[in-house]
């Protein structure tokens, strides 16, 4: 089973919780193979740029005779760290930006984690009056007929007898 960390946006959750993020605490294969791309996708720009610079430096060091394997070892090391701890870095980055870590859920997949989390939320009270405006249908005061009898356009530009 996978652990899912549930984070809510800094301003609180939306009404339908679209801003609530579920981040799986598991290994990332994309982060192992392409760490700087994975961090860029996760919007950790400075970390992505730093990895690119360090990989260029390691490739330059590998040109020295005794350090030929330095680039491969560095790439493997960064990939393993990114694969195992990358999602934790994303969570820490979001928490530093004001996101709130609400809970950790153990579930088989994302859909199950969402179902567990949202089923435990308190139900909203919809019995209060809403701010949705309701139309005020008024009858014609002159003739007492229905609401469209004296409409200058008739019913879609036709009067009740079908004329224009």
What pLDDT, in 10s, does the model give residues 125-161?
555 556 767 677 666 566 555 555 555 555 555 555 6
pLDDT digits (tens, 9 = 90+) for 34-54: 999 999 999 999 999 999 998
pLDDT band of residue 65 (cuts 50, 70, 90) is confident
pLDDT band of residue 109 (cuts 50, 70, 90) is very high
Give the total residue count for the chain.
Answer: 164
How far is residue 73 CA from its own chain's centroid?
35
97 pLDDT higher than 60? yes
Identify the residue with better confidence: 82 or 16.
82
Task: Of 36, 25, 7, give the one whose Cα is nearest residue 88.
Answer: 25
How far is the CA of 66 from the CAs of 53, 61, 74, in angstroms?
21, 9, 15
pLDDT digits (tens, 9 = 90+) for 70-80: 888 888 999 99
Q: Which residues contact 127 (CB under 8 A, 6 or more apart)?
A: none
Q: Which residues of 110-127 are buried (b: 16+ CB within 10 A; e: fewer)?
A: eeebbeebeeeeeeeeee
Q: Which residues contact 1 (CB under 8 A, 6 or more apart)?
A: 106, 107, 108
pLDDT recorded at residue 61:
84
Task: Write out the two tokens for 54.
Answer: 């360090």
Q: What is the mean pLDDT of residues 112-137?
A: 74
Task: Write out the two tokens for 85.
Answer: 């701890």
Say how far apart CA 149 and CA 164 lie, in whole Å. 14
Q: Considering the chain, what percentage of its residues have pLDDT values greater than 90?
A: 49
Task: Write out the two tokens for 44.
Answer: 């950790």
CA dihedral 41, 75, 81, 25 (to 10 degrees): 40
């Amino acid at each position: 089973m996978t652990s899912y960390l549930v984070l809510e946006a800094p301003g609180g959750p939306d009404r339908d919780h679209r801003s609530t993020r579920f981040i799986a605490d598991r290994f990332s294969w994309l982060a192992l193979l392409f760490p700087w791309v994975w961090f860029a996708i996760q919007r950790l720009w400075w970390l992505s740029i730093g990895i690119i610079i360090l990989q260029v430096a390691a490739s330059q060091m590998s040109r020295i005779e005794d350090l030929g394997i330095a680039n491969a070892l560095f790439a493997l090391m960064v990939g393993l760290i990114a694969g195992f701890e990358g999602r934790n870095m994303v969570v820490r980055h979001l928490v530093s930006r004001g996101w709130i870590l609400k809970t950790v859920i153990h579930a088989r997949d994302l859909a199950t984690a969402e179902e567990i989390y949202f089923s435990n939320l308190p139900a909203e009270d919809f019995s209060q009056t809403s701010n949705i405006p309701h139309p005020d249908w008024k009858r014609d005061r002159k003739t007492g007929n229905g609401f469209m009898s004296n409409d200058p356009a008739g019913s879609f530009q036709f009067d009740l007898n079908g004329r224009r």
